[in-house]
Structure 1
Amino acid sequence: MTRTQQTLLKSPRQMAVLALTGLMLMTSTGVSNQSAMASHVSKQSSNLVAAESSVQLPRSVEQAVRQDLSQRLNIPPQDITPQDITIVSFTPQTWSDGCLGLGGAAESCLQAQVEGWRVEASANQQTWIYRTDKTANVIRLEPQSTARLPPIVSQRLLRQVAKDVRVPVARLRIAEVKSAIWDGCLGIFTPGRGCTKIALQGWQVIVAGNKRSWVYHLDQDGNRMAQNPTASGSRGGLVPAFILEENKPPIEPSVIFRSIVSGDFTGKVTQITLTTDGAITQSIMAPNIRSRPVVIKRLSQQQIEQFQQVLQAQRFLNLNGLNYLTEAVLADYPTTTLQSAGSLTQYVDLETTHLPKAMQQVIQAWTKLDTSKN
C-alpha cells in the first residue's frame, strides 16, 4: 500500500483560528488581557510543526483511521480496500491536551502537549478529518466533519455539479458539508431580488475536482439546489473550508468594512477599519504592543457609497463563513480576514490569483482605499 507524502506546514483550520483570535483580540477590551492573549497567539504560531517532505504517516495511524472510518461506513474490516478509503493528506501536529483539543465540557483531559497527526481521509466522495496521537492510541474525529449528506442527496448533487461545470462525477468529491437554514433564495444574495422569509432546512456543500472548487446550497432533500457563484471558482487546488460560528467575532454598527492581517512569526496583528464617518483607521497589536487607532485616510460620502456598491455588486455577503487558506504555505505566512456586516471571509495573499473572481474584485477595491498598501 502506497502512503501519501505531504509537505504541509500549517492546516487551514489552525490558520483560521489564529487569524480570528487576532481579530477578536483587536475588538475586545482590556489592554493587559489583549497583550497576554496576543503572546499566546504568537506562541501558537511559532510552535506550529513543519513537516519535512520525507515525512511518512505511521502505518499504525493509517490503519486506525481506516478502521474507524470503515466502522462509521458499516464496511466490515476484512472487506476494506485502498479504493474504499483514501488518505488524502496528513500533517504532524502538536495538540494542546490529551483530548487532542476536542474534549467536551464534562471531559477531563490531560493538560500536556501531545505530539500527533491530523489526517484527511476520503470515502464515498466525502471527507473526514481525524486527529491522533503519535501512534493512534488516541484517535478523534473533528466535529466539523460530522455533517453528512444522505447518499441520495450526495448523488443528486454530484450529478448536478458534473452537469454545471462539465467535470465527470468520478473526478468530483464532497470536501465539506454543513447544515444550514435558508430563506426562499437558498441563502444566495442577488442585488435587487426579494427572497421569501422562510426557515428552510438544508445544506451548504463544498465540492472539489480538477483543482477547482464550487459551493452549493441545497434544501434538505436535494430537490432544490443552486451554485453560490460568488464563492465558487477557486483554482489551483485551493479548496475553501467553513469558519466555525463560534470563531466569528462581532462587528460594531459603525464599521462598514475591515481587514485583519495576522499570523506571521512575530505575532503582529494589523487591523484596517472603515467606519461610517469615512475614517480609515489603522491599529497594530503585537505581544507587547497595542497601538491606538490612527486615522490614515478620510473618504468622502461618494467614495464610501462607491465602495459599498462594489461590495453589493460583487455579492460579498455570499462569501460569509468561508476561508480560502492553502495548506502548502509557510507557517509564518500571514492570513487576511475581511469582514463587513453580515459577512466574514479569509484568504492568504499567496493564493490571491486563485481566489474566486468576485473576491479578487473586493480585494482590489479595498486595496485602492487603504493607503497603507500603496
Structure 2
Amino acid sequence: MKKSIIQASAVIKSTFQSPRGIFLTLVLTSLLSYGFGLIENNYAGAIPRLDGTKLSQSQVNELPKAIANKILGDASFRSSLRKRELEITQVTSKTFGNPCEFKFGEVCTREYNPIEGWEVVVRVRKDSWTYHVDKSGKQILLDPKVSTLQTLPKAIADAILSDASSRSGVEIADLKITKTTPKTFGNLCKFHFGEVCTQQYDPVEGWEVIVKVKEQSWTYHVNKSTSQIILDPKVNATEKS
C-alpha cells in the first residue's frame, strides 16, 4: 500500500514538472481565479445584511442638478443674492406623509397620501433656509417661517403706485407701500386672486404687495417682469376719470 502511494506521488510530481504539467497548472489556476472573481462580482452591487435585505449604493441620496438650480434660483430671487453666493448645505431624501406635511403644516391629519422628495437646506448669508421639493421638481416650497428680506425693485414699486394712483385719484406722493412678500403663485388662477382654483402647478414668480390708499390697504399681485399687475378684485377702487 505504502509502495503504491509513493509511486503515485512520483507520477504526479513528474507530470507537473513536465511542460504539459506546467500548462495544466496555469489553466487550473486561471479557472480558480475566474471562479472567485465571479463570486466577488455577484456581491459587489449589494451586500447582504443580517435581516436579509440588501444595502446598495442607490441608497446614497443625490439631488438632481436641475432641481438644485431651481432651488438656488428661488433663493436668489427671494434674497437678491447671486446664485454663486448661495450654498446648499444639506440634502435629505424624504417621504412626506401627505401634502399638508409637505407644505410645512404644523397641524396635519394622519391621512397617508405620500409625496416623495427632498428636504433641502440652503445657506443664505448667515441664515439657513429649508425647502421641500418633490421628485419631479415641480413643487418647491420654502418654509414659511423663513424671513426673506428682499427689496421690491423700484421699477415694480413705481408701476404699482402709478396704478393705485390712477384708480384712486390719490397722488403717488400720498401713497405708501407697507409690505412686500416675494411669492411663487401655484398657477395663474391663484395669481389672479381666484378663490376656487385647480391643483394644476404652473408657477408664476412675483410679489404680493400691500399699498396704503387713504384708510384702505390694497393688495396687488405682480409678476417678475411687471407685465401683469393685478389688484385684488375685493378692493373697492374707484378709478379716476
What TM-score do the two structures reach when normalised by structure 1? 0.23
Determine which structure has the larger helix proportion and give its number.
2
Higher relative contact order (CA 8 A, sep 6+): 1
Larger Rg: 2
What TM-score do the two structures reach when normalised by structure 2? 0.34
